[in-house]
Structure 1
Amino acid sequence: MDLQTIRFPVTAIASILHRVTGVIMFVAIGILLWILGLSLSSAEGFLQAADVMDSFIVKFIMWGILTALAYHTVGGIRHMLMDFGYLDETFAMGKLTANVTFLITVVLSLLAGVLVW
């Protein structure tokens, strides 16, 4: 079996990314709580947090966290709509909604980039 010839359907990619973004958000909680704690500790702490947020790397990480949050949220809404019976649980509908989820996430990711930068 040649592993390079395996092609996952878009529904499998959407499912895997939903799990990955969940892990990313779990890790991000620590980063966000650290920055929040620093900013609330004192006036000097707030200035330190503001200085940290001026770094390109930190802005990129924040953009990544917001993008993961956006994808996980949109994917979660997609799953709930299917679970509650508002969307058919067919492969065609799964494929369509996975593509729509990706499209909405791209738009939200661009908006997050504007927000961060």
Structure 2
Amino acid sequence: MLMTFSPGVLPNAYPTLATIACGDRAFCRFMAWADKTKAATSTPLTPAQSAAITFSYLRDRSADYEKALWNCQQVRRPDPTQCMRARQTLRAAPAAADKAAPRRMRHRNSTVCGARRPPRQRRPQPRC
């Protein structure tokens, strides 16, 4: 569930608004933004939208789990455990200029523990 908070809504009211919005659902994921210009209107979220989330609430009654988290870069909280982890955007490294096929490296003891060798090889299995 995606939502934008109206100006003037206090951060302490966010969990109440989330539980009201989730109603009686056994599973509910609630994400809200204070800045409507950065808010998502559909999923999946872009990295910028994820970073701009102000408040997140997750409920899963089958796992007896309920958690409310604030973006503490936007909202001050007295307890740091109430803060979302900072999101980092990962980017792919540029491809190597050398287009030669990579060499397959093989070590003389390259057997996987528990794997069986073909019957024609009669070496002892490594101990794991």
* Fold-level similarity (TM above 0.5): no
Which structure is richer in relative contact order (CA contacts within 8 A, separation 6 or more)? 1
Larger radius of gyration: 2
TM-score by length of 2: 0.25
